[in-house]
Structure 1
Amino acid sequence: MGVSVVIATYNRLLPLAELLESLSKQTYKPTQVIIVNDGGSSVQAAVDAYPELSIELMELSENVGHVEARNIGVRAATEDFIMLCDDDDLLLPCHMERMIANMNDADFVSHISHPLDKNREDFFIFLSNKTLEYKESKGVCSSWTFKFGPFMKVLI
């Protein structure tokens, strides 16, 4: 199961490089990393610093906004799963591995971490059989009915 990581960026070279560093340390490696430079300054230096990642750089000639830039990247994705990242995200080395493990019975998985609150743990949201479940690492907290027609597997 391959993972396409889609990153929209605009004039944030250093945070982007930190994200690429965290992607390079993943225990489950992405098979495709798509960076959509949304009309900003060059990010080629960050791309060149991580030859071990299969990076595809898409340079937009004008700023179209992060939503459209992300959509452009999603349309270029070729793998079974798509993981959307902001250019300032930092991932623990086991992030993708844990997300993939939770995709078996889900159409959508989201990870929320709270690094400033040591009493809170990681949370996942799973979408399975049109039910949205809010899960904590210690078990299901609650669940809701959610109308959703799955069209692709997405990791966030």
Structure 2
Amino acid sequence: MANKVSIIVPCFNHAKYLEECIQSINNQSYTNWECIIVNDGSTDDTETVSRKLENEKVRYIYQENKGLPGARNTGIRNASGDYILPLDADDTLNPLALEKMIAVFNQTPETLIVFSDTVTFGSTNKKSNLQEKFTLKELLLGNKLYCTSMFPKKYFDAGIIFDEKLRHGFEDWEFWIQLIDANREKPITKIDYTVFNYRSHPETSMIKEIVGNNDKKEIIYHAVYEKHKKLFHEFFPSYIALLNRKNFYEQKLERIYSSKPYRIYNFLINLFR
């Protein structure tokens, strides 16, 4: 029997995008899936829209607001699939997403995570270019994966869950740190297929708020550091040296990505994909 995928869709006041999101799941070429919509205390029409979308494969759960990590945890706890794929309610999956990801697990069952690049649409349009391979040390300097990456549910059941204290951001990065640290020898595979489309909003988003606020970013980063202090010190004995190195690479990447040659290169790459 084909492995079942549980797609977890947290929704907080994104009712206007929810139908498009669920339709993209219904359009999957791989059919052994369930979808769990978690209404995280929305004040818009999320419940009404979700009830209309419910069927034998799409379930709806309501909870008082706990934030994104809490909503993801609730969805996964109620999931019956072998594999988990988080998907935010304002994003969409591409039709072959599940088929392509499950194929990796079928071919290499010990695989830990399957991920891909994404296309950003909405207020901005671009394609990402994630590293195909990265080390745990590199991951500690910053996230290398989108939340919409697939992993076996058994690791969540064993206690690797989203940290609900990180409701203001970086919860997916911290989750990957937990998962990869506990399974260092297991393969992580990037596929050459864009799994999902990330919706960019013109209004302020959580990511923009964090990135644009150095104080807030450092507070959240420090919380992740405190939780994984032993691990950070394994690779970076000095916290100050770590911060300096992290800031150096952030500034270096910012200069590269904003340079004219890179913008031309990225345009040409996306043009001929």
Give the superposition deviation at 1:11.
0.7
Q: Point out where structure 1 has 5 or more consecutive residues left out of the alignment.
A: 139-146, 148-156
Give the superposition deviation at 1:15.
1.4
Q: Could you state the TM-score of these two structures normalised by the residue count of structure 1? A: 0.71
Q: Which moved more, 1:5-14 or 1:49-58?
A: 49-58
Structure with more of its chain in helix, by fraction: 2
Structure of greater Rg: 2
Give the superposition deviation at 1:54.
1.0
Structure with more of its chain in strand, by fraction: 1
Give the superposition deviation at 1:47.
3.1
C-alpha distance in 1 between matches for 2:26 and 2:34? 12
Q: 1:107 to 1:134 in 2, by over 3 A?
A: closer
Q: Does the aligned pair in 2 maintain the 1:34–1:56 contact within 8 Å? A: yes
C-alpha distance in 1 between matches for 2:117 and 2:99? 15
Q: Which stretches of structure 1, 4 residues or more, deviate above 6 A after TM superposition? A: 120-129
Give the superposition deviation at 1:46.
3.0
C-alpha distance in 2 between matches for 1:40 and 1:79? 26
Candidates 1, 20, 23, aligned match of 2:25: 23
User: What SS does structure 1 have at the residue aligned with 2:87?
Assistant: strand
User: What SS does structure 2 have at the residue aligned with 1:98?
Assistant: helix
Q: 1:135 to 1:73 in 2, by over 3 A?
A: closer
Letter of the structure 2 residue corresponding to residue 112 of structure 1? D
- Give the match for residue 37 of structure 2: 35
Q: Does the aligned pair in 2 maintain the 1:111–1:123 contact within 8 Å? A: no
Give the superposition deviation at 1:133.
5.0
Q: Does the aligned pair in 1 maintain the 2:29–2:98 contact within 8 Å? A: yes
Matched-pair identity in %? 28
Q: Does the aligned pair in 2 maintain the 1:5–1:30 contact within 8 Å? A: no
Letter of the structure 1 residue corresponding to residue 76 of structure 2? V
Give the superposition deviation at 1:132.
5.1
Q: Does the aligned pair in 1 maintain the 2:7–2:34 contact within 8 Å? A: yes
Q: Point out where structure 2 has 5 or more consecutive residues left out of the alignment.
A: 134-149, 151-179, 194-230, 232-273
Higher relative contact order (CA 8 A, sep 6+): 1
